[in-house]
């Protein structure tokens, strides 16, 4: 029974781990593309051509960068945040429902069909890597605090979102849980390989850790949806100040 539960929960985690992988990947991609991003608007300056590189050595209250801070209220590439709140809410609930149905189908009938197969058993040694992924993502919550805050939806988003904590507090506590859950899963998976027999009082460590991380992923999924609907950008630093346009040839 414990083994079946472990398989199911680790399977659910396979679906859930898309979030930290995408977060870390988008962090790298957006960090690299920031220097060449044309989508920077200024309330007091001229527009920058699409072939220019942007340099912002100083900070200014007048500048608004799309996807950063107040720039999250600018029309996003998806256009969703420019729609009426009722339409935004309907789209977001549709996305959440699709994620839920997809997870249930993959972790249920799909995994039941392949469980015990050659490919299933071949993938089992890679499962501890999920703990490593979450552990790295949890650490990133502290090393890239500003970026995670920027992709955290503020209260009132889509007309219904609310959290009793500030974005900073939400980033910190979710980072702590990711570090704990990732370490817990690594410990449960690697201890038997190292020859340690875990006491029965610890229970099914791997499956419990997977369940913890899965529930956490459910709670932080709105941040990923917010990135889509409002174009919120994961940045290593906030770009602000008067812009200088430098052409690619220079």
pLDDT value, residue 176: 97
Is the predicted pLDDT of residue 58 greater than 60, yes or no?
A: no
- Identify the band that residue 60 occupies on the pLDDT scale cut at 50, 70 and 90: low
Residue with more model confidence, 250 or 223: 223
Whole domain around residue 206: which residue ranges?
2-247
Highest mean pLDDT among 21-25, 229-233, 240-244: 229-233
- Percent of the chain scored above 70 by pLDDT? 67
Calculate mean pLDDT across residues 162-171: 95
The count of domains in the chain is 1
Highest mean pLDDT among 115-124, 151-160, 208-217: 151-160
Task: Write out pLDDT tens, residues 175-225.
Answer: 999 999 999 888 887 777 777 777 666 666 777 888 899 999 999 999 999
Is the predicted pLDDT of residue 5 greater than 70, yes or no?
A: no
pLDDT value, residue 7: 40
Is the predicted pLDDT of residue 117 greater than 70, yes or no?
A: yes
Question: What is the pLDDT of the chain when averaged over all its residues?
Answer: 76
Calculate mean pLDDT across residues 72-101: 96
Whole-prediction pTM value? 0.68
Q: What is the 3-state secondary structure (H, E, C) of the chain?
A: CHHHHHHHHHHHHHHHCHHHHHHHHHHHHHHHHHHHCCCEEECCCCCCCCCEEEECCCCCCCEEECCCHHHHHCCCCCCHHHCCHHHHHHHHHHHHHHHHHHHHHHHHHHHHHHCCCHHHHHHHHHCHHHHHHHHHHHHHHHHCHHHHHHCCCCCCHHHCCCCCCCHHHHHHHHHHHHHHHHHHHHHHHHHHHCCCCCCHHHCCHHHHHHHHHHHHHHHHHHHHHHHHHHCCCCCCCCCCCCCEEEECCC
Calculate mean pLDDT across residues 114-118: 90
Calculate mean pLDDT across residues 35-60: 45
Is the predicted pLDDT of residue 133 greater than 90, yes or no?
A: yes
């Amino acid at each position: 029974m414990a083994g079946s539960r472990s398989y199911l929960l680790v399977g659910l985690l396979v679906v859930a781990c898309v979030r930290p992988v995408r977060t870390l990947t988008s962090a790298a991609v957006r960090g690299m593309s920031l220097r060449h991003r044309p989508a920077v608007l200024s309330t007091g300056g001229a527009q920058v051509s699409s072939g220019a590189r942007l340099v912002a050595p100083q900070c200014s209250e007048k500048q608004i960068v799309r996807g950063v801070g107040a720039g999250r209220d600018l029309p996003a590439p998806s256009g969703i945040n420019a729609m009426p709140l009722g339409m935004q809410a309907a789209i977001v609930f549709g996305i959440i429902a699709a994620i839920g149905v997809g997870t249930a189908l993959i972790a249920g009938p799909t995994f039941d069909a392949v469980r015990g197969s050659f490919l299933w058993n071949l993938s089992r040694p890679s499962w501890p890597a999920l703990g490593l992924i979450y552990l790295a993502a949890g650490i990133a919550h502290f090393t890239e605090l500003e970026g995670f805050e920027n992709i955290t939806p503020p209260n009132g988003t889509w007309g219904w979102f609310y959290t009793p904590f500030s974005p900073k507090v939400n980033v910190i506590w979710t980072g702590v849980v990711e570090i704990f859950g990732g370490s817990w899963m690594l410990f449960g998976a690697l201890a038997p390989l190292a020859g340690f027999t875990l006491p029965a009082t610890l229970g099914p460590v791997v499956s419990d850790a997977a369940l913890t991380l899965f529930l956490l992923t459910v709670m932080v999924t709105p941040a990923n949806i917010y990135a889509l609907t409002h174009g919120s950008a994961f940045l290593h630093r906030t770009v602000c100040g008067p812009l200088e346009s430098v052409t690619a040839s220079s």
